[in-house]
Amino acid sequence: MIPGAFDYHRPATVEDAVGLLAKLGEEANILAGGHSLIPLMKTRLASPEHLVDISGIGDLKGIAVRGEEIVIGAMTTQFELITSHDLEKHLPVIAETSRLIADPQIRYKGTFGGNVANGDPGNDMPALMMCLGATYAVTGPGGSRDIAARDFYQGAYFTSLEHGDILTEVRIPIPPADHGYAYEKLKRKVGDYATAAAAVAITMADGKCTSASIGLTNVSETPLWASAAAELLVGTNLDKASVDAAVAAAEAITEPATDMRGPSEYRTKMAGVMMRRALERAQSRAKG
């Protein structure tokens, strides 16, 4: 399969990239790792006339602790997330999630920014970013702005990004050291998107849940932040009745399509099962 012809551009700075995208117009696409875009181009579902390769922009790479936040450059690869000491120390759930994305080869090239910005409801990072309360830094023709992950996803492949915008970095508040976390993903095989998946972050004190946040992957047009479900857990000791109620509340906001991963009802139930398992594992890891 041969992609359609295009002109290739490789800017060295974010400013140059934004300028190029503005100049070239709607027929220009950003090329990051390429592992979502190139398959679309090979099947001619996408035929951009220009590709703006942002892999030469050094500012977009890297993982840093800045104050109370972890800052991850958009072009940081999944492999780099898995092998980062800063993330292992402060946000191990990111590596746990990265290991469940695609396969080893794809994780060397696939980028964090591409995963969160593409708007594919099957991608794993968006629900996790909603769960963790991340902020996306975006630069476009009008300058730079911040968008909360929880406000970013509008529909399948439809986000708050406008043409010409580049996601530059993601900022994530560092959770308390004793927080519990887990990402649970049901998939049919290595490399598959989730039938359903759940991200959970909690804190506990004296056996009671003091905060909870839950994200759900691939059970709606967008990733979901299950805030009502999480609220039902706060103040409880995560007893069965409370967890059952929270799982029911989370299942109620899902609207999965019936597809080759299963009927809609099944995928809703699997979202509940993944959430329950993630919660159990998060509780076992929470030290409060």
Partner 1 sequence: MTKSQIELTINGKKVEALVEPRTLLIHFLREQQDLTGAHIGCDTGHCGACTVEMDDMSVKSCMTFAVQANGAEITTIEGMANPDGTLSALQEGFRMMHGLQCGYCTPGMILRAHRLLQENPTPTEDEIRNGIAGNLCRCTGYVNIVKAIQYAAAKINGTPYQEAAE
Q: Under the criterion CB under 8 A, does residue 100 sit at the interface with partner 1? A: no
Structure tokens at 31: 């090329």
Segment contacting partner 1 by CB under 8 A, of 39-47, 86-94, 136-144, 149-157: 39-47
Q: Under the criterion CB under 8 A, does residue 105 sit at the interface with partner 1? A: yes
Nearest CB to partner 1, comparing residues 30 and 226: 30
The distance of closest approach from Cβ of residue 185 to partner 1 in the complex, given in angstroms and rounded to an integer, is 14
Residue whose structure tokens are 């959770």: 175
The interface with partner 1 within residues 158-217 (CB under 8 A) comprises 190-191
Nearest CB to partner 1, comparing residues 51 and 214: 51
The interface with partner 1 within residues 53-72 (CB under 8 A) comprises 53, 55
Q: Identify whether the C-beta of residue 133 lies closer than 8 Å to the C-beta of residue 219.
A: no
Q: How many residues comprise the chain?
A: 288
Amino acid at 43: T
The distance of closest approach from Cβ of residue 282 to partner 1 in the complex, given in angstroms and rounded to an integer, is 23
* Rounded Cα distance, 234 and 247, in Å: 14
* Rounded Cα distance, 283 and 78, in Å: 26
Binding partner 1 (rule: CB under 8 A), the pick from 103, 231, 255, 259 is 103
Q: Under the criterion CB under 8 A, does residue 34 sit at the interface with partner 1? A: yes
Nearest CB to partner 1, comparing residues 50 and 150: 50
Q: b vs e for 138-161, b when ≥16 Cβ sit within 10 Å of the residue's Cβ? A: bbbeeeeeebebbebbeeeeebbb
Residue whose structure tokens are 């996306």: 136
Nearest CB to partner 1, comparing residues 51 and 226: 51
Q: Under the criterion CB under 8 A, does residue 266 sit at the interface with partner 1? A: no
Q: Under the criterion CB under 8 A, does residue 260 sit at the interface with partner 1? A: no
Binding partner 1 (rule: CB under 8 A), the pick from 52, 81, 87, 102 is 102
Q: Under the criterion CB under 8 A, does residue 42 sit at the interface with partner 1? A: yes
Segment contacting partner 1 by CB under 8 A, of 30-38, 142-150, 180-188, 220-228: 30-38
Binding partner 1 (rule: CB under 8 A), the pick from 104, 141, 142, 235 is 104
Q: Under the criterion CB under 8 A, does residue 8 sit at the interface with partner 1? A: yes
Segment contacting partner 1 by CB under 8 A, of 3-11, 145-153, 240-248, 253-261: 3-11
Q: Which residues sit at the interface with partner 1, rule CB under 8 A?
A: 1-8, 10, 31, 34-35, 38-39, 41-42, 51, 53, 55, 79, 102-106, 108-109, 190-191
